[in-house]
Chain A
Amino acid sequence: MAKTSANTLAQTLSALMVASALVAPAAQAATPTASGAAATATQAANPCGPSNPCGPAKKKKKKAADGANPCGPANPCAPKK
């Protein structure tokens, strides 16, 4: 069984090497558009820029329910309880 498994691995590896050689190389990453490029360039030097270039994506904060419930406690103009 182990021999069969090893043979399968060897065959799949050979097939992969052949098939992947025929695939077009993927395009390299590009610098973003003009404004984005400027932002990226300043990231490294700007102490207020995103300091963790490889950190996971931040969750988007939900907007306060503007207008959805004007009398609810989420309303910024509601009196303090």
Chain B
Amino acid sequence: MAPPGISRLHASAQTALAVPLRYAQAGSSLAHAALAGARAFEVFRHYPGRDVVDAAAGTRFYYHAHRLDEPEHGHFHLFVHGEQPGEFMHLAALSLDVRGQPLRWFTTNRWVTGEHWRPAAQLLPRLRRWQVQTGGRLAPVACWLSAMVALYRDELAQLLRERDALLAPRLQGRSRADREALFEDRSLDVISECPALLAPKIAQLVP
């Protein structure tokens, strides 16, 4: 019998595959589904417009796109809520290609989302239990994102640590103004990234 950790990982992997498979068998994809039924897909607009919020879990996500460049179709931004009302932290973003297949995970500088910056050590406990539930047409998308976070938990933890490690030398010993300038540096948007392709990830689980 497989250890519980492996069983959970396999269950997450199965969901991460089964949800897009169901969409594909219906002639659709996660890239279509992420738009929540919107007729038009416009840059910077949030899909859904008010985000998906799971108040019980203290999590949130939405989908959008910046540029009109392939291969990325758009990306999900995943958040956790803080202890104070209105406080939120960005966990990671997950991009999709035009066929709805996941491409890459990435973390961002503070200005990108306006988040309340927290070190990786404080985010990791939230990462370990990150899940989002919703009803309606986005329920399978929420289920898929929860499974993806569980499946890539180790990689996401590493991404957050890398994010902090990359910024650390530029923050240490600097004045408050310099630190603020770095967090608001428009030339620094994506800080760390890793592939999110499903096939190689599943290959690691299938001996």
Contacts and interface: CB of A to CB of B under 8 A. Distances in A.
B24 A23 contact: yes
Interface in A1-36: 1-2, 5-10, 12-13, 15-17, 19-32, 36
Contacts, number: 133
Interface residues of B, number: 59
Given A22-B24, A23-B24, A28-B98, A56 B51 contact: yes
Nearest to B43: A29
B134 interface: no
Contact of B43 (A22, A23, A31, A56): A31
Q: Secondary structure of the B side of the interface?
A: mixed
Nearest to B110: A52
B111 A13 contact: no
A42 interface: no
A41 to B, nearest CB: 11
A53 interface: yes
Interface string B182-207: 00000000000000001100100111
Nearest to B10: A5
A19 B98 contact: no
Contacts of B28: 23
Contacts of A2: 1-2, 6-7, 10
Contacts of A13: 17, 198-199, 202
A23 B100 contact: yes
Contact of A6 (B108, B199, B207): B207
Interface in B87-114: 88, 90, 93, 98-101, 108, 111-114
Interface string A49-67: 0011111110000000000
A75 B21 CA distance: 55
Interface string B23-42: 11101110110000000111
29 contacts: A1-B1, A1-B2, A2-B6, A2-B7, A2-B10, A5-B10, A9-B13, A13-B199, A19-B24, A25-B31, A26-B29, A26-B100, A28-B65, A28-B70, A29-B73, A30-B68, A31-B42, A31-B43, A51-B114, A52-B111, A52-B114, A53-B112, A54-B90, A54-B108, A55-B114, A56-B77, A56-B79, A57-B46, A57-B50
